[in-house]
Structure 1
Amino acid sequence: MNIILTINVIVAVVFACCYAYQLFFLAVPFTRKQEAHKPEVLHRFAILICARNESAVIADLLQSIQHQSYDQRLITTFVMADNCTDNTAEIARQNGAVVYTRFNKEKVGKGYALEQLLKNIEEDYPQTFDGFFVFDADNVLDCHFVEAMNRTFTDGYEVVTSYRNSKNYGENWISAGYALWFIRESRYLNNSRMLMGTSCAISGTGFLFSRKVIESTNGWVFHLLTEDIEFSVYHILQGRTIGFCADAVLYDEQPATFRQSWRQRLRWARGFLQVFRKYGFGLVKGMGKGSFSCYDMSMTVMPAFLLTVALIVSYLVVGLSALGGGVGSEITFFQGLYYILQMLAGLYGVLFVVGLFTTITEWENIHTTPAKKVLYTITFPIFMLTYIPISLVALFSRKVQWKPIQHHRADRRVLEAAAAGTKRIQNQ
C-alpha cells in the first residue's frame, strides 16, 4: 500500500509541476487585452490546399474563399489534387483554383503534397506572394478570415494560426470531443499564449507563413506524422514567435466514427513521439536557456496521457506482484484496480471542468443545439480518456501511416455563420 501511495504522490506532483500553467491560461483572456494592431498593409497571398478525393467538400471551401472580404485580386488559390481517383481537380478548376496533380504512392501525406505544391508555385509564380495560407479541403472560412489574418501578419508575425471551430460539432460525441478540444486549444492555449507574448502552435490547418519562412527552409521539409507540430517546434527553436488571430475563424470537419478517430489519433500520438525524438534535445536546451515556449512545446509533444499510462502500468505491476505474494495478497491487487478507477474518475472530473468552462464561455461559437452542447460536455472527458490506450499503442506501434478520412458537406447553419461573419472574439 505504501508503494501505491508513493506512486500517487509522485505522479500528482509531476502533473502539477508540468501542467499548472495551463490552468493559469484559463484566466488570461479575462485579465489581459489584445494590443492594438499596427496600420494595415495589404499583402498578396497564395492559398494552398492539398486534397485527396475531396469532391464532396472542396467546393464549399473554395466558395468561402471567393466570399472573403479581403481584396480578391490579392488572393490566388492553388489546389494539389494528390493521388485523386475522383473529380476533385475538375471541381477545383470550376471554382477558380489553379490546379496541379500529383501521383506518388510512396511519399504519401500532406507534407509531401505541400512540398510539391510549393515547388510548382515557385516555378510558375516566382517571388509573387508575400505569404502562404494552408487549408484542408474540408474547411470552411469565415468571410473575414483573410482580412483578420492579414492584420496579425502586418503586426510582424511571420507565422500566424487561427481560431479552429467545427462544422460538425453536433454529429456525435466523437466529433464533439475533437471540436471542444480544438476550441479550448484556440481560446485558452493559443489565445492566452498570444496575450502573454509567448509563441503559439500550429494546429493542423488554417495557418499562414511568410515567404521568408519558407525560404529559410528552402521549401516544405516537414514530413513527420504530425507535420504541423514539427513545423511549430522547428520555428520556435529558430527563435520565431508564432502568432494567433482570434478573429480569424475556420470551420473544420472532425471524424465521427471511433475507427477513424482511433486511426487518426494514433498517428498523432506516434507523431508527437517522433517530434520529441527529433527535437527533444533542442527543446531541453531551450528550456535551459529560459525559453517558456520550449517548455510549453515539450508539454505539448509529451502529453499527460503518457504519464497516465505509466501510472496504470505501475499499479498493475504492483498489484500482480502482490497477487503472487501469499494468502490475503489478493486485497492489494484489487486495491490496485481500485486506485486505477479512482484515478480515471479524477481525470474525468478535471476534464469535465475544462470542457464545461470552455462550453459556457464559448457557447455562442458552438454551432449545435443547446441539448447537444450540454450532452457533449458530459461525454467530452470520455473521449479524452480514450487517448490512454491510444498512447499506449503508440509507444510500441511501428507501422503507423497517414490514411485519408472521408469528409462530408458542412451543416447549413455553419455555412450561414461563415458567410455572415462571426462576432469578434473579445478579450476582456
Structure 2
Amino acid sequence: MLNGLLLAAQVFFALYGAYQLVLAFFGYRLPKKRQEHAPKKSFAVLVAAHNEEQVVGALIDNLKEMNYPKDLYDIFVIADNCTDRTAEIAREKGVYACERHNKNQRGKGYAVEWMFKELWKRPRQYDAVVIFDADNLASPDYLTHMNNDLCNGSKVIQAYLDTKNPNDSWITAASAITYWYCNRLWQMPRVRLGMANYLGGTGMCFDAALLKEMGWGATSLVEDLEFTMRCVQRNIYPTFNYDAKVYDEKPLTFKASCKQRLRWMQGHFSVARRYFFPLLWQGIKERSWTKIDTALYAVNVYNLFLGSIVTVALWIDIAIPGPNFFPSIFLSIPLLFNSLMFLTYAQFPVALLLEKAPSKMWKHLILYPVFLLSWWPVTFYAFFTQNNKQWSHTEHTRVIRLEEMPAKKSNMTKQQVG
C-alpha cells in the first residue's frame, strides 16, 4: 500500500513538473501590443502601509510624477495600525492619509477591505483602484498601461513585478531571478494561452464596479492569491501587463527572507484548503482548463510539501548501503527524470536570457539552488503552523528612489526622460 502511494506520488510530481515545462515554452515570445487609448479612466491609488515612514515618502513622490493626467488619480495611504510618522508624511506630501486602528484584525487584507468601504463613501468615485505596497516604486507609465488594459476590457490586472535592490545580497538576487522567471515563464504563457494570471500582492489594478459587486473578501495572509481564486470562480480572469513595471524591495538576509516566505506559505495552505477542490470540480464540470490550472496553482503548496518529503526519503534510502526499501521511478528511468530535473533548472538561466538581466546576475545562479531548496523546510514548518494568522512586517534598511536604481532592460531610464 505504502509503495503504491509512493509510486503514484512520484508520477504526479513528475507530470506536474512536465506540465509547467510545456507551459514555459509559450513564454518565449511576447504577445502583440494591445490597442492604446487616450487617458480616460480615473484611479484611486492605494498604498498599504504599516510603520513605513522610511520608504513611503519615496513612493508618494514617485506616484505624483506619473505620466498621467493629475486630475485623473488620487493617492491614498492606508496607515494601518501605525505607531510612527507614516500618516504625517503622507499629509506633508499632499496626499490622503487614512488611518486605521484595529489590533484584532491585522494585516494587509483587512486594511484593504476597510479602505474600500471608506472609499465608496467618498464624494468622488473612481473607475479603478490600484494597490501598491509602501516599499514599492512604479514606472512612470504604469497608469497609462492600466488605462489601456481597462479600456480593452480587463477587470483585474497584474503588473510586471521586479526588485528595487537585486544587488544588495545573494538573497535579493535570488528574489530577482524568481521574479524574472515568474514574469516570463509563468505569467506570460498564460497570457498567450488566454488563461488566468495570478495576482502578486502589489501593482494590482481592479475595476471599481467589479469590487463593489463582489467585494474584497480576501483577508488571509495571501490576499492576492485568495482574490485570484475568487475571481476565477466567477469567470473573471486576471490579466498580466508585461510593460507596466513595479519594483519591490526584498529582504536582505536569509533569515528575513525565510520569515517572509513562511507567512506566504502559511497563507497558501489556508487558501489551498478552501479553494482547490471547489475550483477543480467546477473546472471539470465546465470543462474549463483555466479553472483546473488555477486549482493546480492553489494546491502547489501541497505539491511542494509532499514532494520535498518524498524526495528526501528517497535520497536517504539511496544513500543507505544495501537494497532500496522504497520504489523509485527516478532510479527506474534515470535518463527521463535527470532530463526533467535539468530542464526544470534550465528555465532560470533561460528566463535571465529572455529578460536581458544584467550580466552580474548570472553568477548568482550558483547559489540559486540553495534558495530553491530552502523552500522545503520553510514549507514544512508552514504546514504545521498554518493556523497562525499573525501578519509579520518586513523591515526596511534604506530608501531607494527610481532614479537611483541600476539600469535594466525595462527601459526605465527612457521612461524617466520621456
TM superposition score category, shorter chain reference:
0.7 to 0.9
User: What does residue 277 of structure 1 align with?
Assistant: 273
What amino acid sits opposite 2:193 in the alignment?
M
Q: Which of 399, 415, 418 matches 1:421?
A: 415
Q: SS where residue 386 of structure 1 aligns?
A: helix
Tell whether 2:376 aligns with 1:396.
Answer: no
Alignment of 1:120-139 (within 5 A): 120-125=118-123, 128-139=125-136
Tell whether 2:394 aligns with 1:405.
Answer: yes
Q: SS where residue 50 of structure 1 aligns?
A: strand
Question: What is the CA–CA distance in structure 2 between the aligned matches of 1:271 and 1:136, rounded to whole Å?
Answer: 18
| Ranges in structure 1 where 5+ consecutive residues have no aligned partner | 321-328, 424-428
| Conserved? CA contact 1:7–1:311, under 8 Å | no
User: What does residue 72 of structure 2 align with?
Assistant: 74
Q: Which of 224, 240, 244 matches 2:240?
A: 244
| Conserved? CA contact 1:133–1:207, under 8 Å | yes
Alignment of 1:83-98 (within 5 A): 83-98=81-96
Question: What is the CA–CA distance in structure 2 between the aligned matches of 1:376 and 1:334, rounded to whole Å?
Answer: 37
Deviates more, 1:279-288 or 1:47-56: 279-288
Alignment of 1:337-348 (within 5 A): none
Instruction: Provide, for residues 82-104 of structure 1, a one-character-per-residue CA deviation record: whole Å limited to 9, x for no partner.
Output: 11121111211222210111122
Tell whether 2:35 aligns with 1:37.
Answer: yes
User: What does residue 426 of structure 1 align with?
Assistant: none
Tell whether 2:251 aligns with 1:260.
Answer: no
Question: What is the CA–CA distance in structure 2 between the aligned matches of 1:28 and 1:346, rounded to whole Å?
Answer: 20
Tell whether 2:379 aligns with 1:381.
Answer: no
Q: SS where residue 242 of structure 2 aligns?
A: strand
What amino acid sits opposite 2:276 in the alignment?
G
Q: SS where residue 69 of structure 1 aligns?
A: coil
1:355–1:313 distance in 2 versus 1, CA, 3 Å: closer
Tell whether 2:287 aligns with 1:305.
Answer: no
What amino acid sits opposite 1:190 in the alignment?
Q
| Conserved? CA contact 2:271–2:298, under 8 Å | yes
Question: What is the CA–CA distance in structure 2 between the aligned matches of 1:65 and 1:145, rounded to whole Å?
Answer: 9
Tell whether 2:340 aligns with 1:331.
Answer: no
Percent same amino acid among aligned pairs? 27
What amino acid sits opposite 1:248 in the alignment?
A
Q: What is the CA distance between 1:29 and its match in structure 2?
A: 3.7
Question: What is the CA–CA distance in structure 2 between the aligned matches of 1:45 and 1:117, rounded to whole Å?
Answer: 14
User: What does residue 155 of structure 1 align with?
Assistant: 152
Tell whether 2:139 aligns with 1:142.
Answer: yes
| Conserved? CA contact 1:287–1:294, under 8 Å | yes
What amino acid sits opposite 2:306 in the alignment?
L
Q: What is the CA distance between 1:316 and its match in structure 2?
A: 7.9
Q: Which of 105, 108, 111 matches 1:110?
A: 108
Question: What is the CA–CA distance in structure 2 between the aligned matches of 1:227 and 1:259, rounded to whole Å?
Answer: 23
1:305–1:7 distance in 2 versus 1, CA, 3 Å: same
Q: CA RMSD in A?
A: 3.1
Q: What is the CA distance between 1:49 and its match in structure 2?
A: 0.9
Question: What is the CA–CA distance in structure 1 between the aligned matches of 2:102 and 2:67, rounded to whole Å?
Answer: 36
Q: Which of 198, 204, 208 matches 1:201?
A: 198
| Conserved? CA contact 2:266–2:388, under 8 Å | no
Q: Which runs of 4+ in 1 moved over 6 A?
A: 316-320, 333-337, 344-348
User: What does residue 52 of structure 1 align with?
Assistant: 50
Output the TM-score relative to the length of structure 1: 0.85
Q: SS where residue 223 of structure 1 aligns?
A: coil
1:351–1:319 distance in 2 versus 1, CA, 3 Å: closer
Q: What is the CA distance between 1:32 and its match in structure 2?
A: 6.1
Q: SS where residue 314 of structure 2 aligns?
A: helix
| Conserved? CA contact 2:275–2:298, under 8 Å | no
